[in-house]
Structure formats: C-alpha cells, structure tokens
Amino acid sequence: PPSVRDATPEPKIFSMDPPSTAAVQCTLAPHAPINFPTIAAYEAHVTKEHTHRCTECGRNFPDDHWLQLHITENHDPFFAARRDGAEANDEKVWGCFVVGCDKMCRDERKRRWHCYAKHKFPQDFDFFIVNEGIDGRTSMLRPT
C-alpha cells in the first residue's frame, strides 16, 4: 500500500490577473471595441447593430440610414438620372449622413462640407463608406 510520504501534493495554481468578464469583444465599425459577457449578448448586438446588408451587392453598413443612402446612391437608376442632371438644374439630391438631418446637397463635396461644419465630422472621416460598406473595418476613419 502507498504511504503518505509517497503522495505528491497537488500544485496550487492561481492567477495574479483579475478574472475576465468578457466572453467576446466586438471590434467592428462604427464604434470603439465593446466587451460582451456572453456569446448570446454579442450575437444580439451584432444582429441589432451590424446587419444592415445590401441585398444587391452584399456590403454591410453601420445602420439602416447608411444602407438606405447606399442603395439610393449606388443601385437606384432614378437617382442616377437625377444625379446626372442635378448640376444642370440645381437639384439637391445628396442626403446627409446623420440620422435625423434632412439637409440635401447639390453634390458630394457640399455634403462633406456640411458634415464637417454642422456635425463636426473628423477631417479623416471616410465618406466612401456609403459606397464600400464597413466589412473588415474597425473604424469609420480613412485607413492610414
């Protein structure tokens, strides 16, 4: 029979780091990284905040407003006709990127100026997101 002397004590393992409360982290644009305590909480967040996908081209957008602007500006033939004639007839066809702002502009350049001046967009904001979407991005700023 084994004696008490032969028994090897179990090693005591402990961590100096505080226990992590985050099961998963979301690093998708348009927000800073967010930690979620459970996979279910993360999945609910992704469903609510990151499932604004264009059925025409498959690109994903920050919210429904950006998706609707994308569809209009990239896939709507009526918008294309209005856009092509907008400069000649002084028509404002470019909608603001900010939800709730009903400002319409004559061209994309004026829309950018409006966003800088009225909504304090950063100078390195990537306005092409309306065309390209946010898949694979972690920021709404232009890549450096």
- Tens-digit pLDDT string for the chain (144 aa): 555 555 666 666 665 655 556 789 988 777 788 999 999 999 888 887 778 999 999 999 989 999 999 999 999 999 998 888 766 678 899 999 999 999 999 999 999 999 999 999 999 999 999 999 998 888 899 987
The verdict on residue 128 lying in a domain is yes
Q: Range of 42's domain?
A: 20-51
Cα–Cα dist 70/3, whole Å? 76
Helix (H) or strand (E) holding 78, with range, is: helix 77-89
First to last CA, the chain: 70
The verdict on residue 92 lying in a domain is yes
Position 35: which residue type? N
The verdict on residue 13 lying in a domain is no
Q: Say yes or no: 34 and 82 in one domain.
A: no
Q: What are the structure tokens assigned to 101, written together?
A: 């702002």
Q: Say yes or no: 30 and 84 in one domain.
A: no
Number of separate domains in the chain: 2
Q: Say yes or no: 75 and 101 in one domain.
A: yes
The verdict on residue 73 lying in a domain is yes
Q: Say yes or no: 72 and 126 in one domain.
A: yes
Cα–Cα dist 38/23, whole Å? 5
